[in-house]
Structure 1
Amino acid sequence: MHAIALNSPAPLDANPLQWREVDTPSPGIGQLLIKVAACGVCRSNLHMVEGDWVDGGVPAISPIIPGHEVTGTVAALGDAVEGFAVGDRVGVQPLWWTCEECEYCTSGREQLCHRRKITGEHVNGGYAEYMLSNAAHTYHVPESLDLSEAAPLFCPGITAYGAVQKLDLGPGATVAVFGLGGVGHMAVQFAGLAGADVIAVGRSADHLRVAREVGATRVVDATAEDPGEVLAESVDAAITFAPSDAVTEQALKALAWGGTLVAGVPVSVSGFPFNKAQTIKASILGNRTQMNEVLALAAQGKVRSIVDRFSLPNAPEVLGRLAAGKLRSRAVLENRTE
C-alpha cells in the first residue's frame, strides 16, 4: 500500500513527510484491517510532525503514519472479532486502545486511561490506504453519512460534544465558543442543540462565516474588537479551543459571575477572580457512548462537519495550509491519488 510516513519530526519546510510504498499490515487478535476512505487533518498532527511533542514521547514509533480521525470499510478481520463484517462502514477516533481495567476504563472515562494508545501517535494512523484498528474502539458509521464528511466526527465531533456535555445548557443560556476551526464549528452546533444562544468568537473571516452557517446566534470578530470587552460578564458559559493565554483571558472576562469555562486546550491562568465563583473545567475527547451519540446526531441531520477535500498524497501541503490558517474549517484527506 501507499502511505504518508514520518521518519523523523522536523519543520514542514524540511519535508519530513514522504508518500511512499509500505507493507500492508495484517490484523491481529481483536483487530480490523480498514481500507481508508478519508482521514481528517488535525492541528495535533502538525505538532507531532514538527517535533513539538518529542519530549513527551510522541511519536512513540519511527517511522510512523499520522492521522487519527478516520473512516473507511472493513477489509479483513483478525481473530476473536465480533460485531463486524468485511465491507462494514467504520470509523476510528484518537483512542486506538485502552486497557479496559483501570478505574477510568471501568467508569466510562476511558479517554483518561493512563495506558491509552493514540491513533497516529503510538500506532500507525489514517494517512494511508489501509490501517489497523482495535475492534473495541472501532465504530459503525451510519449508511446515511458521507464517509469524508463523517471523518471529522471522530475528533472535532467527539471533542466538541464532550466539552458541551460538561455544561448545563438549555433555553435561555448563553455560551461563547472561542476558536472556530474544526472543533469550534462542531461545538457551535452541539451548544445550539442544547437550546443555548451561541456566540462564536474567532479571527478568521472564513471561520466566522462557517459559524453563522451552522447556527451561531452572533459572531464576534476578534480582529476588529476585544471579545472580552464587548462580552464582559455576559455569558453563562465559555468554551475555548484556541491555545492562547490571551484568548483564555478574554473568555474569563466574558464569563458571568458563577459561570463555567470549559477548556479544550492547555490554559494558563493568573489572577483568577475567586470572588466571582466561576468554574474552570478541562475536557478531552469523550467516551464510547458519547461517540455513538455523536454519530446518531449526525445521521439524524442535527449536526454536520464542514470539510474541504484533498487527496491523500497532498497531506504535506494541507498541513501547510493549516499552519498558515488558510483552511475554511476541517481538511479531509481522501484515499484517492488524482
Structure 2
Amino acid sequence: MVRSLATMSSHASNPVMYAQQLDAPAPIEQAPLRWRQAPTPQPGPGQLLIKVAACGVCRSNLHMIEGDWVGNGVPALSPIVPGHEVTGYVAELGTGVEGFRLGDRVGVQPLWSTCEECEFCTTGREQLCHERRITGEHVDGGYGELMVATARHTYHLPDTLDIVEAAPLFCPGITAFGAVDKLDLGPGDRVAVFGPGGVGHMAVQFAVLTGAEVTVVGRSPEHLAVARELGATHTVEATDPQALAQVEDTADAVLLFAPAEAVTAQALRTLKWGGTLVSAVPLTLRGYPFDRAQTLRTSLLGNRAQMENVLSLAAQGKVRTVVERFAMSQAPRALELLKAGQLRSRAVLEAAG
C-alpha cells in the first residue's frame, strides 16, 4: 500500500502535474522543452514521491537536451523530464520504505539507483555501478512539480538549509567534494582550480577548508569574483597569457572542471612536476609529458558517505551555494544563459509555492 500526504499538495490525488518535457533533442534556441501537463508519477516499492521544491540546472542537462549524448543512449526516454539535483518534500511512500516520513525535506542527486549488489555497491563506490541509472537521463528528473526517487538514494536535508539554495549541493556539491577528497591537501599546499562555474565554486570552498592556498583560473570575470568571495587566494584570467605564465609549475595539485583540450594543457603546465591533477570532466590529451611524473585522476560524483559530509558542512555554514533563481517554467531561459556563459554561478529552478 502506498501512503500519501494529501495535505502537502493536491498533486497527491491529482492525475496530472506540470513538467518540462523533452520529446526529441534539439538546440535550446529551438525550444525543445515543453512546459505542459504530464501524468502524476506513482512510487513503486522502495521508492518515494517527491513534491519538488527546486532543481539545479547543470550543463549536462544542456548536453542531453541538445542531443550531444544520443550516441550513448541518453535520453533513455521520450518524453523525458530533465534535472538531477533536486530538493523537495516527501509526498508519498512506496511499500517497504523505511527511514522517511511524509513531509520530510529531502534531496536527490544524479545517482538515481544502483544494483546494491556488485563489487562497487558493496565497497562504498556505488557511483561506479555498471547498472546505475541517472536522474533526468534514464528516468524522469526534477524539472517538474513531482518526481519519483529511490529511497536508498534519497537524502534528508538539514533543517538549517534553504531548500531552494540547497539543490546544487546534490550535483556541484558532491562532484566537487569527491574531486577534492581524492587529494591530500593541507596548509602549505597550493591547489589550482580550472573552471570556476557551478561545480568549481564549490570546489574552491572545499579546497579552502583544507588550509591550502587556492588559485582559480577562469574566463568569466563574474566567476572569478565569486571565487574571491569564497576564499580563493589568487584568481587568474584564462585569456591573459602573462598571468597564465606566472602560475606555470606552481601548483601541487590541480582540479579541472572545464572540458576543453586547451584548458587541460594549461592545467598541466600549472601543475608542478610530480603533482596530481583530478578531473571531473572528460579529458583529451595530446603529447602528455610523462617525464614530469604527474599523476592524473578522474572523479565521478561521490558515495553516500561523502554526500552526507557535504550536507553536514553546508549545515554548519562552512560551504554555501551561489545561485540565481528562476521559475520552473523558465527552464529554457536558464539553459540559454548557461550556454551563453552569462550565469554568475548556478541556476536553480524554483517550483511555485
Work out whether the TM-score is over 0.5. yes
Instruction: Summarize deviations over 1:38-58 as a string: whole Å, max 9, x none.
Output: 000000000000000000000
Aligned to 2:308: 292
- How far is 1:200 from its partner? 0.8
Using the alignment, how far apart are the partners of 1:16 and 1:227 within structure 2? 41
Question: Aligned letter for 2:119?
Answer: E
Residue of 2, 19, 27 corresponding to 2:43: 27
Task: Tell whether 2:145 aligns with 1:126.
Answer: no
Residue of 69, 75, 81 corresponding to 2:97: 81
Using the alignment, how far apart are the partners of 2:61 and 2:145 within structure 1? 18
Matches within 5 A, 1:139-150: 139-150=155-166
Question: Aligned letter for 2:215?
Answer: I
Instruction: Summarize deviations over 1:228-276 as a string: whole Å, max 9, x none.
Output: 4221111100011001000000000001111000011111112222221
Instruction: Summarize deviations over 1:26-45 as a string: whole Å, max 9, x none.
Output: 11100000000000000000
Residue of 206, 225, 244 corresponding to 1:190: 206
TM-score (structure 2 length as normaliser): 0.94
Aligned to 2:332: 316
Task: Tell whether 2:117 aligns with 1:101.
Answer: yes
Aligned to 2:27: 11
Question: Aligned letter for 1:244?
Answer: A
Question: Aligned letter for 1:180?
Answer: P
Whether the 8 Å CA contact 1:6–1:65 is kept in 2: the answer is yes
Matches within 5 A, 1:189-268: 189-225=205-241, 228-268=244-284
Using the alignment, how far apart are the partners of 1:244 and 1:336 within structure 2? 37
Residue of 295, 300, 323 corresponding to 1:279: 295
- How far is 1:227 from its partner? 5.6
Whether the 8 Å CA contact 1:6–1:49 is kept in 2: the answer is yes
SS in 2 for 1:315: helix
- How far is 1:224 from its partner? 2.6
Using the alignment, how far apart are the partners of 1:236 and 1:310 within structure 2? 38
Aligned to 2:351: 335
Q: 223-232 vs 76-85, which deviates more? A: 223-232
Question: Aligned letter for 2:304?
Answer: R
Whether the 8 Å CA contact 1:228–1:249 is kept in 2: the answer is no
Whether the 8 Å CA contact 1:90–1:139 is kept in 2: the answer is yes
Using the alignment, how far apart are the partners of 1:286 and 1:132 within structure 2? 21
Percent identity reads 66
Residue of 68, 72, 76 corresponding to 1:60: 76
Aligned to 1:155: 171
In structure 2, the CA distance between the partners of 1:172 and 1:34, relative to structure 1 (3 Å rule), is same
Question: Aligned letter for 1:77?
Answer: L
Q: 262-271 vs 48-57, which deviates more? A: 262-271
TM-score (structure 1 length as normaliser): 0.98
Question: Aligned letter for 2:95?
Answer: D
* Cα root mean square deviation, aligned: 0.9
Whether the 8 Å CA contact 1:227–1:250 is kept in 2: the answer is no
Whether the 8 Å CA contact 1:150–1:305 is kept in 2: the answer is yes
Runs (4+) of structure 1 exceeding 6 A deviation are none
How many residues are paired up? 337
Residue of 162, 166, 169 corresponding to 2:182: 166
Consecutive unaligned residues in structure 1, runs of 5 or more: none
Using the alignment, how far apart are the partners of 2:65 and 2:206 within structure 1? 30
Question: Aligned letter for 1:202?
Answer: G
In structure 2, the CA distance between the partners of 1:306 and 1:213, relative to structure 1 (3 Å rule), is same
